[in-house]
Chain A
Amino acid sequence: MKQTPDLEKKLRNVRRSLHREGLSTVQAVLHEFSVRLSGEVGSWDEKVRAGYAAAGKGFRGVLNDIRVPGVEEPAMSVPLLRDKALEGAAYDVVIVGGGVIGCGIARELSRRDLKIGVLEKEDDAALQASGRNDGMIHPGFAAAPGTLKAAYNSRGNRMYDDWARELDFEIKRTGSILLYRSLWMHLLTPYFKRRCRLNKVDGPCRGLSARQVRELEPYVTEKQKGGFLMPSTAYVSPYRVTLALAENAADNGCDFHFQTALLGVELSSEGSSITHLKTNRGTLSCRVLINAAGVWSDKVAEMAGDRFFSIHGRKGTDAILDKRCEPFQTRASGMPSLLKRNRHSKGGGVVPCVEGNILLGPTAQEVADREDYSTDAHIFGTLVKQLDLNRELHQGQIISYYSGVRAASWEEDFILGPSVKVANLLHAAAIQSPGFASAPAICRDMARWCEDILSEQNVPIRDREGFNPVRRGIPRVREMSEADRDALIRKDPAYGDIVCRCEEISRGEIRDALCSSVPAQSVDGIKRRVRAGAGRCHGGFCLPRIIAIMAREMDIPLTGVTKKGPGSQILMESTKKEAPLCS
């Protein structure tokens, strides 16, 4: 091949970098147009360093196959369900992954008269990264100019107002402040402004004196020496956005198949196009496959015959503070140390939620297990240090905490667009922060590329008749005006029966969550849709009642109710010979 000498040069670059890192046991070889690392190293940290050492050297991607003895890299968890429900099904487009990207692409494509199926291995949408982040719609400042992250972030940010209006989710656009640790950081203000211009961040972004910061955020730490204000930063509930997209897509004819994992891909004899998809629910066919599989997007690419990048999981933990803290912080503020070793995290901070809570975080920790959502005391200890950013916040206000895992590539940029190798495959991979903010723009482009591929296959692209971009959410009785709330209750008394006392959620809302177009299947599914059990008592009082409502509405025994899908049964057995009627 003509590029060989060039690629050889790049490969030598990679080897030199590895050598500089002291990772001489790592081999770097060419894999198509990517670089593949192999061999053994002594720790996960070394594997991570090797991955980064190979990145940015001009390859299509970095495949990191280094083994770390003693560290297991668990495979994707697969649903227990086995049936033939999808055997023989034929779709124009199959999207793998029910996160914000998968659901957003489905919704965008549902404008057209196409048969679309979304495969999600969990029992609900937004269960992995899309439901496990702080919901911050970043302004577009952080990514280096010229990257896909930079290009998509500010565009996506701008599109959120339309999404919010059409899909009926709350958005709070209160901006964010990058706090200055020392006075000399004011010298960086012009540089920050320039970056905002290059990344097309909506402004006006400006430097603030310490006094101006205090005027905007009266409870902010005394240690700040000023800051940089970016007014376009917004806040949403990430799982509510994802569920709203899914519901609107479903309303417009998309099929959502939960507990459905992609297990294999059949390619045409020459390997240039996908013909069939094997799942735990049967084998189906599709004209186009869209890979939106989050932390598993590299495995989907591999199954589809287009292995050119590796994903590594980077876990982040956030702490949730009581709603009573709402008045103490209206914009996200962080005080990053510019000298910090970790280049791939924005350093976290204090982030207001659209629901009124405040979040601390996120942390950043490389993990071998991509579905490891546990928290640990050590990381948590570093997280609570963020409390110092606000004088009114303290540890006693923490009501909960959670982890998510970012799907990072070694290049630390999104991988978007048609596969160069497989004709009917599209990737929306390595989507992590600012992935949520970029989602509207990513989904729009992905849908267009998909339509292009279908056109090449001579599939007519016609608008769907009766497409409705508008989705109406479940009424939020707590936020309604007195008159509207009274009128709603008179029409349907279930909205007057409060079940969750902390968040003031009615039985009507819980019932609606169980019969929406993408219905809740579990107690956590209800919590994500209507916030029942998300308050300070964390379901202490309402769980028994929610279980009873679910059993009745879903027509299942009380022991059939789960916290988070199959295998997470809440009640073990009846204490009576005959099961009592649920009340």
Chain B
Amino acid sequence: MQLNQEKQLQYDVTVVGGGPAGMAAAIAASDEGARVCLLEREEKIGGILKQCIHDGFGVLRFSEQLTGPEYAWRYAQELGRRPVDVLTRTFLTSIEKNGSSRDGYLLKIVNSQGLSRLETRTLVMAMGCRERTDRQVFIHGERPAGIFTAGQAQDLINLKGYLPGKRCVILGSGDIGLIMAQRLTLEGASVEGLYEIGSEPSGLNRNVSQCLEDYGIPLHLNSTVLEVQGRKRVEAVTVARMERGIPVQDTVRTVPCDSLILSVGLIPENEMLQSLAPQMDERTRGPRVNQYMETSCPGVFSCGNALHVNDLVDYVSQSGETAGRAAALYASNRSGGDRGGEAELTAAGNLSYVLPQKLRLPAEGAVPLFFRVNKSAPRGKLTVTHEGTVILEKTFRWLKAAEMERLDLDLSVFSGSNGGSVAVRMSEEGS
């Protein structure tokens, strides 16, 4: 779309980010009759899916295994059929409140046509996440060429068609790291080993078996990369087994290699959102939201990996849809947000976090609760209590820290209540 300076850009819903969450949000908002704008900083929409050429996407959504680009293409097609203004290569530089909170937000955007202002009643923040770097996991030694995040390596191989290394060591067993072990091998590089500081892989089981075991790539658990050697290009890395955060002396080894690929965690991108000072969740590193994905800033919604890091794109799209629809209803004053109250959810026991962190009540239907455990466990009992009364109990098997779990909570159990505190506890079930 050509920007016209004379025309004031005004929307009901502005979606920031054109990945799977943002596309789903824009579609859902448009279907509710909202005037929708989608901002994407890259040349094409699709987000990180564009470089995920492996399959396994869409099992829940489409009941088939799609590649990333195929999954993105389906949503892009749907988006194309709707009257949504998609601004690509457009960068959001700032968000300000536009008058009183009901008046929405004023955005400044930049693209090759210039700098423009955009007024919107609501915002859906769908900026995804970024990768933790070697420096953020405190790897020391030299700092040569040849240190890549798994996402960088994936972009370079899958989109640019170049090998970033021929003899690689991978640190971290996140899903992209596992997938890159496979991709690098298929493109002719040798993967010397994959090191994981935890006692179990942090990626999905299927990726461990398909990407490592099938290719004979050794997985070293409880181990990490301490230092990088080589002043110009990586020449070797020093690895060791770790015990309580300290390298075990006689396990320190030097592994010759020309590159180090890191898959050591993802960080939701919320710097732009934080300029509005929403309540944040320290565990998810995303904003605290209710079941409509609404943050503590009125009319600002969050979804996808910007909200919390998901395992499956299907859930990312789902949260985008929820956020998009809720934003559209909010913009047309149909959300009923001024009525009722809010219940606060807290995660307890062997739970790292639970999402949403709040429930707006009264409300109908069921809300999917997403949670992760701190420690893997063969069995665990999830108990949801509201003001001390147990409202839901369920036993889970084979809980893994790496895998997000989901449970639907029927809101009718809150009949009559407009708030209170809801404790979600995972306890080890007596054997």
Contact = CB atoms under 8 A, between A and B. Distances in A.
B91 A571 contact: no
Interface in A383-410: 398-402
Nearest to B274: A324
B215 interface: no
Contacts of A77: 231
Interface stretch (B105-113, B313-321, B352-360): B105-113
Interface string A557-583: 011001111111111111110011011
Interface in A166-215: none
Contact of A575 (B91, B131, B157): B157
A373 B232 CA distance: 12
B35 to A, nearest CB: 24
Given A374-B141, A504-B91, A569-B233, A575 B163 contact: yes
Interface string B128-145: 001101011010111111
B241 interface: no
A538 B113 contact: no
B151 interface: yes
B370 to A, nearest CB: 24
B111 A537 contact: no
Contact of A574 (B111, B135, B149, B162): B162
A369 to B, nearest CB: 10
B411 to A, nearest CB: 36
Given A373-B143, A399-B135, A572-B258, A544 B114 contact: no
B115 A486 contact: yes
| Max chain B C-beta neighbours (<10 A), residue from A376, A380, A572, A576 | A572
B6 interface: no
A579 B162 CA distance: 9
Nearest to B166: A572
Contacts of A541: 130, 151
Contacts of A573: 162-163, 166
A409 to B, nearest CB: 26
B114 A558 contact: no
Contacts of A583: 160
Q: What size tier do the contact residues of chain B reach? A: 35 or more
A371 B142 CA distance: 11
B108 A374 contact: no
A385 to B, nearest CB: 15
Give the interface SS of chain B, mostly helix, strand, loop or mixed. mixed
A489 B144 contact: no
B128 to A, nearest CB: 10
Interface string A313-324: 000000000001
A543 B152 contact: yes
Nearest to B157: A575
A278 interface: no
Contacts of A472: none
B188 interface: yes
B201 interface: no
Nearest to A490: B114
Interface string B147-189: 0110110011101111111100000000000000000000110
A122 to B, nearest CB: 11
Contacts of B160: 544, 547-548, 558, 571, 580, 582-583
B214 interface: no
Contact of B89 (A477, A497, A539): A497
A420 interface: no
B114 A496 contact: yes
Nearest to A541: B130
Contact of A504 (B93, B138, B164): B93
Nearest to A539: B152
Contact of A496 (B110, B130, B133, B136): B110
A324 B272 CA distance: 11
A571 B108 contact: no
A399 B136 contact: yes
A538 B135 contact: yes
A324 B143 CA distance: 25
Contacts of B142: 373-374
A365 to B, nearest CB: 13
A339 interface: no
B33 to A, nearest CB: 32
A536 B162 contact: no
Contact of B156 (A373, A485, A571): A571
Q: What size tier do the contact residues of chain A reach? A: 35 or more
B164 A570 contact: yes
A501 interface: yes
B226 interface: yes
Contacts of B138: 377, 380
A496 B112 contact: yes
Nearest to B259: A572
A117 B131 CA distance: 44
A494 B136 CA distance: 32
Given A496-B114, A567-B233, A568-B232, A559 B162 contact: yes
A540 B151 contact: yes
Given A482-B108, A540-B151, A567-B233, A375 B141 contact: yes
A489 B113 contact: yes
B41 interface: yes
B136 A575 contact: no
A498 interface: yes
A567 B162 contact: no
Interface string B77-112: 000000000000101010000000000000010111
Contact of B112 (A478, A494, A563): A494
Given A496-B114, A504-B93, A540-B152, A563 B145 contact: yes
A485 B130 contact: no
Contacts of A380: 138, 140
B243 interface: no
A364 B317 CA distance: 51
Contact of A486 (B114, B152, B162, B165): B114
A537 B129 CA distance: 10
Given A501-B91, A536-B130, A541-B130, A567 B114 contact: no
B271 interface: yes
Given A373-B142, A559-B162, A575-B157, A544 B152 contact: yes
B91 to A, nearest CB: 4
A536 B131 CA distance: 10
A327 interface: no
Contact of A324 (B131, B151, B271): B271
A375 B134 CA distance: 13
A482 B93 CA distance: 11
Interface string A502-528: 101000000000000000000000000
Nearest to B156: A544
Contact of B135 (A400, A496, A498, A582): A400
Query: 3 smallest A-B Cβ distances: which pairs?
Result: A563-B145, A567-B232, A493-B112
5 contacts: A374-B140, A496-B113, A504-B93, A559-B162, A580-B160
Interface of B: 41, 89, 91, 93, 108, 110-115, 130-131, 133, 135-136, 138, 140-146, 148-149, 151-152, 155-157, 159-166, 187-188, 226-227, 231-233, 258, 271, 274
